[in-house]
Amino acid sequence: MSTQLKGKVAIVTGAGQGIGKAIALDLASNGATVLVTDLDYKSAQQTSALISTNSECMQVDVANLDQVQKMIDTCLQKFSKLDILINNAGVTRFIDIMGVTVEDWDLIHSVNAKGTFFAMQFAAKQMIEAKISGNIINIASIAGKGWHGSSNAAYAASKGAIIAMTTLAAQQLGPYGIRVNAVCPGTTQTGLLDRIIDSIAESQGVKSSEVRKSPSRTSPTGRDSTPEDIASMVTFLVGPGASNITGQAINVDGGLISH
Ligand SMILES: NC(=O)c1ccc[n+]([C@@H]2O[C@H](COP(=O)([O-])OP(=O)(O)OC[C@H]3O[C@@H](n4cnc5c(N)ncnc54)[C@H](O)[C@@H]3O)[C@@H](O)[C@H]2O)c1
């Protein structure tokens, strides 16, 4: 166990499973205190229970801005400050561009883009007032850079929005000592990926295993990322070794795309 984040207080959204869970556990194993939040309270509780450092959990729907504000307020009440915000919660479903409905668009953008933007704004307000040189990481996706295998175009647009808001936030929050970066996972072994693969297989009338090994989805490293691959990049970016890195959108994708 490293102590590089000892004394730091972090919030992770969507941390009940998948990538968010791995991030919460990795931050904690590097010494951070973690407020574990998720739409699904039970899963947030389960992640929090795995953390041996200081941790609390709460139910938060990031699309509900009252709940997002309450998440920041709860962090301050329980832990007196906020150093690190990880905007991880995100949703998608596999669907062709012609099938995207207004309901799909609104859900995806209210969780992925709106939730990320305002959590970032509310967190930055606290960091500026408390003169904390904080860190914000937004989990985007290589979908936001136009990867051809993305689950749907509305999702790609929401992740592109996250990359753009990360750049602007880094520029405008840099003078306060706050760094803002995005991490762009490629295909990563989680429930979200399983659901997408199953939907693609169903639409093509083939087995999920065939979709997984199709050449167009295979990365140069020959494997999907693990949630822990994403988490270790996040921990690096919020740590002292990345103190001059901001405004970046860094791929962790086994080389699926090169920009
Ligand atoms: N798995 C991949 O291949 C992949 C690739 C690129 C980007 N991502 C991104 O990584 C992030 C995590 O994805 P994952 O694969 O771990 O997904 P997942 O579905 O396995 O887990 C997502 C978690 O977010 C929670 N959540 C959903 N809606 C929420 C809301 N409104 N408010 C709060 N929490 C909510 C869910 O309850 C769940 O615990 C997402 O932003 C996703 O877009 C994933």
The tokens describing 230, both together, are 């994403």
In short, whether 193's Cβ falls inside 6 Å of ligand 1 is yes
> What is the structure's pLDDT at 78?
97
In short, whether 136's Cβ falls inside 6 Å of ligand 1 is no
In short, whether 40's Cβ falls inside 6 Å of ligand 1 is yes
Exposure of 208 by Cβ count < 10 A (0-12 exposed, 13-18 middle, 19+ buried)?
middle
Q: What letter represents residue 217's amino acid?
A: R
Confidence band of 118 (pLDDT split at 50, 70, 90): very high
Query: Catalytic: 155?
Result: yes
CA-to-CA dists, residue 106 to 38, 90, 110, 115, 151, angstroms: 19, 13, 6, 12, 16
**Sheet strands (E) in the chain:** 9-12, 33-38, 55-59, 84-87, 135-139, 179-185, 249-252
Torsion of CA 191, 192, 198, 201, to 10 degrees: -140
How far is Cα 194 from Cα 209, in angstroms, rounded to an integer? 10
Interval 213-225: pLDDT, tens: 887 788 999 999 9
Nearest to 123 by CA among 156, 169, 183: 169
| Mutation choice for ligand 1 from 19, 26, 37, CB with most ligand atoms inside 8 A | 19
Query: Catalytic: 159?
Result: yes
- Tell me the CA–centroid distance for residue 175 and ligand 1, in Å: 31
Q: Is the pTM of this model over 0.95?
A: yes
pLDDT at 235 > cutoff 90: yes
Q: Domains of the chain by range and CATH? A: 9-188+226-252 (3.40.50.720)
In short, whether 144's Cβ falls inside 6 Å of ligand 1 is no
Interval 12-51: pLDDT, tens: 999 999 999 999 999 999 999 999 999 999 999 999 999 9
